[in-house]
Amino acid sequence: MLTPMTDSEIRSKGAAALVESLGAVEAERFITLILREPFDYTQWRKSLFEGRTIEEISSAAARLREEMEQEKPAR
């Protein structure tokens, strides 16, 4: 059974994910945009995939996963 993360853990992991994905400067820009502009996450999610089929969304997700796997440094 998974233990729920604390708010501090969520903030820390979220910030790390943003920096890893966008880089430090762009992560700061993203946070600033979210804080500055009114943002309705639910509405954004609805419009994100509007007009796309399940197959299109699935294919895009698979391509992204492959790209991310290729970018990972070898361990």
Task: Report pLDDT digits (tens) over 12-30.
Answer: 999 999 999 999 999 999 9
In a domain, 15, yes or no: yes
Return the ∠ at Cα 41 (arms to 27 and 30), rounded to 5°: 15
| Token pair recorded at residue 66 | 């492959």
Please tell me the total count of domains within the chain: 1
In a domain, 45, yes or no: yes
Give the count of beta carbons closer than 10 Å to the beta carbon of residue 52: 12
The per-residue pLDDT for range 49-70, each reduced to its tens digit, is 889 999 999 999 899 888 888 8
In a domain, 1, yes or no: no
Query: Predicted confidence band at 71 (pLDDT cuts at 50, 70, 90)?
Result: confident
In a domain, 49, yes or no: yes
Structural domain that includes position 55: 7-71
Q: What is the mean pLDDT of residues 67-74?
A: 77
Q: Provide the pLDDT for residue 37.
A: 80
In a domain, 2, yes or no: no
| Token pair recorded at residue 63 | 């391509």
